[in-house]
Amino acid sequence: MTLLKCPITFLLIVASAFASAAETKKKPNVIVILTDDMGYADLRMFGDSEIPTPNLQHLADSGVKLTNAHVSAPICVASRMGLLTGRYQHRFGVYDNVYSPKENRLWVRERTLADELKHHGYRTANVGKWHLSGNGRSMPWLLPGPHERGFDEFVGIEGGMDDFWAGTSLLRFQDGRYISFDAPKYLTDFFADEAVAFIEHNKAQPFFLYLGFNAPHAPLHALDDDQAVVEASWISPERRIYGGMIVAIDRAVGEVLNALNKHGLRKDTLVIFLNDNGGGGNNAAKHTRNTARNVPFRGHKFDLQQGGVRTPMIVSWPGTLPGGQTFAGLSSSLDIVPTALAAAGIDPPTDREIDGVNLLPFLTGGNNGEPHDFLCWQQRQWTRPNQRSPGVNMRTLHQFAIRSGDWKAIRNDQPIADSKAKRRSWELYDLSRDPGELQDVATEYPKITERLAIQFEDWQSQMQTAIQPASMNPKR
C-alpha cells in the first residue's frame, strides 16, 4: 500500500517531520547589554545629546525604543539583582549595595536568567562588570561567583568600579578556577573583543551573553581619539572625557552587532540595551560623579526621583519585532527575564513569583494595554536631603516610591528601625505635566495619594523586611 493510499499514515509522518524540525530549530540567542551610570539624556534618541552614538542609533532603528522604562533600584548591586532574577530584589531583602552573606542570605537562593537559560541548553557568559559577590579586587569571594549563578564563562571586574587603562587587573573563570591577569588594552574595547570572541565560539548553539560595561561609571578615563569625536566646543573637559567613554561603548555595541551580522545571527538574536540606574551627574557622591545628564528628570543615581530610576532601553529582534518603533508603556528591567524566556520558548518558573512581564506581545502590537499597573521602589538612603533629620544615622532612613500611570508618589527620610518615628508625608507628582517632579500636588489630589499609599503598603507587606547592614563600603 502506498502512502498516498493511506492518508492517516502519511499525515502522521508529515506531523512527525514537522515536530522533529521544531525540536531541532535553534533557539534565539539573547544578549543583554548594560551600561553603568549613564545619563538618560546622553543618547540622542532619548535626549538632546552632543555625543554621537551611530551604532546605538542603528540598534534603536532596528527595534523598539522604550521611553518609559525603569530599573528596580537607583544603585548598582540592587539593580543588577532585580534585572537578573526578574524579581523585586526586596523579596530577598536587598535595599542597597550589600556585600556580606548575612545581608544576602536570600539572594544566594535565587535563580538567575543565566541559570534558566543554561538549564535549557544555552551557553552563557558574563563579560564585564559582575559586582554581586563583593566589591573591589581585595574583596574575598564572600558570595557565589558568576560560575555558580548560571554563567559558564566570566571575564571582567568583580567589584563596582576600576580603572579603564591597559594593565588593570581582571579576573577570568577558566578551567574551573579564577585567574588574574592584566587587561591588554582600554577596558571597554577589551570587553568588546571578549564579547565578539564568545559569539564566534558559540555561533552554532544558542547562547546568552550578559555584557555589563563598567563605563561610563567613574573614574573618568577615555581615549584621546574618542574624546575628539565629541566635537562640541562648549562642554567642560570632564564632560568631554565622559562623552569619549560613551563613544567607546557605542563602538563596542557596533562590534557586537557586526559579529552577529557576520555569522547571519542578527535575526536569531534578541538584543536588549539599557542602563543600570540614573547617571551620577555632578551632584551625586564624589566617587561616582561623571557629568551624566538625566534631564528632563530630577535627581540622579541613589534617588527615587525619575532621574535615579528611569532608564533608556532598546529591544531589538529583527524579523520578530518591528523596527524604528517607540513604546511608551510602563516597563521595567524586571521584564527582561520573562521576555527572554518567552523568546526562547521556555515556560516561566512556577516555584516563585516573577515580578516582570513578557514584553513581546506589547512590542509587537499584540497587546495594547500597559505591562504594569504600577511599579514600586524602596531604597536605603545614602544622604539626608537638606539634613532634615539631624542626628539620625542615614542607614536607618529609607525612600519609598510608587509609579502608576502618570502619577508618582514619593516619601523620603522614613526611619525604618524606629517603629514609633513619625512618618513623613507622601509627595505626589503628575509626570504628564511635571516630568521633573517639581510641583507636589498631594494636597490637591488626596484620594490619588491615598490610593497609591495603600498600593505601596500592600506591595511592601509582600517583601522581605530590610535588615541593618553590619558594615558598608559605599563604592560601587
Summarised one tens digit per residue, pLDDT across range 237-256 is 999 999 999 999 999 999 99
Cα 198 to Cα 269: distance, rounded to the nearest angstrom = 14
Cell, residue 8: 492517516
For 344, half-sphere exposure in the C-beta direction (CA atoms, 13 angstrom radius) is 26
376 is catalytic: no
Residue 370, pLDDT above cutoff 60 = yes
Residue tagged active-site, from 58, 70, 120, 131: 131
Nearest residue to 240 via CA among 220, 259, 214, 258: 220
Cis ω before 296 (30° cut-off from 0): yes
Give the residue-averaged pLDDT of 287-312.
93
DSSP 424: P
Identify the pLDDT of residue 10: 41
Give the separation between CA 363 and CA 377, rounded to whole angstroms. 25
Closest CA to 241 of 256, 259, 226: 226
What pTM, to 2 d.p., does this model score?
0.91
CA 367/CA 437 separation, integer angstroms:
30
Residue linked to cell 547617571: 279
Please state, in angstroms and rounded to a whole number, the distance separating the CA atoms of residues 290 and 300.
Answer: 11
Three-state SS annotation for 429-446: EECCCCCCCCCCCCCCCH
In the chain, the domains with their CATH numbers are 27-363 (3.40.720.10), 375-461 (3.30.1120.10)
Phi and psi angles of residue 226, each rounded to the nearest 5 degrees, phi first: -70, -35
pLDDT at 475: 45
Which cell numbers hold the place of 452?
497609591
Is the pLDDT confidence value at 352 over 80? yes
Residue 2 confidence (pLDDT): 42
Q: Residue 141 above 80 pLDDT?
A: no
C-beta of residue 292 within 8 angstroms of C-beta of residue 38: yes
End-to-end CA separation in angstroms for the chain: 73
Residue 338 has a pLDDT of 98
Contact, 114 vs 149, CB < 8 A?
yes
Contact 134, 99 (CB under 8 A): yes
Instruction: Give the rounded percent of residues in the chain with a pLDDT score beyond 70.
Output: 87
Return the H-helix or E-strand segment holding 267.
none
pLDDT at residue 286 tops 70: yes
DSSP state of 318: B
Q: What percent of the chain has pLDDT over 90?
A: 75
In eight-state DSSP terms, residue 264 is: T
Q: Where are the beta strands (DSSP E) in 189-310?
A: 207-212, 269-275
Secondary structure element (H or E) that encloses residue 55, with its range: helix 54-61
408, three cell numbers? 508618582
Q: Cell numbers of 246, please? A: 560613551
Of the candidates 216, 157, 174, 160, the one whose C-alpha atom is nearest the C-alpha of residue 37 is 216
pLDDT digits (tens, 9 = 90+) for 406-455: 999 999 888 776 555 567 899 999 999 999 999 999 999 999 999 999 99
Per-residue confidence (pLDDT) for residue 13, from 0 to 100:
42
76 is catalytic: yes
Q: What are 193's three cell numbers?
A: 573583543
Residues belonging to the chain: 476
Q: How far apart are CA 8 and CA 180, in angstroms?
A: 63
Of 133, 161, 178, whose CA–CA distance to 221 is shortest?
Answer: 161
Q: Span 451-468, mean pLDDT?
A: 91
Kindly tell me the burial class for residue 381, based on how many C-beta atoms sit within 10 Å of its own C-beta (0-12, 13-18, 19 or more). buried
Q: What is the pLDDT of residue 421?
A: 57
For the cut 90, the answer to whether the pLDDT of residue 210 exceeds it is: yes
Q: What are phi and psi of 279, to 5 degrees?
A: -65, 150
Cα torsion through 432, 375, 118, 66, rounded to 10: 0
Bridge partners of 316? Answer: 271
More confidently predicted of 303 and 17 = 303
Longest dimension (CA), the chain: 93
Task: Please identify which of the residues 70, 76, 90, 372 carries the catalytic annotation.
Answer: 76
In 202-236, where does DSSP find H-type helix?
A: 224-229
**79 has a pLDDT exceeding 70:** yes
Specify the amino acid at residue 232. A
pLDDT tens for residues 20-41?
434 446 899 999 999 999 999 9
318, with CB counted inside 10 A (0-12, 13-18, 19+), is middle
Q: Residue 282 corresponds to which cell in the numbers above?
A: 555632578
Hey, what's the torsion of the CAs at 383, 385, 388, 390, to 10 degrees? 30
Q: How far is CA 400 from CA 241, 294, 456, 458, in A?
A: 34, 20, 8, 13
Q: Can the peptide bond before residue 318 be classed as cis, meaning omega within 30 degrees of 0?
A: no
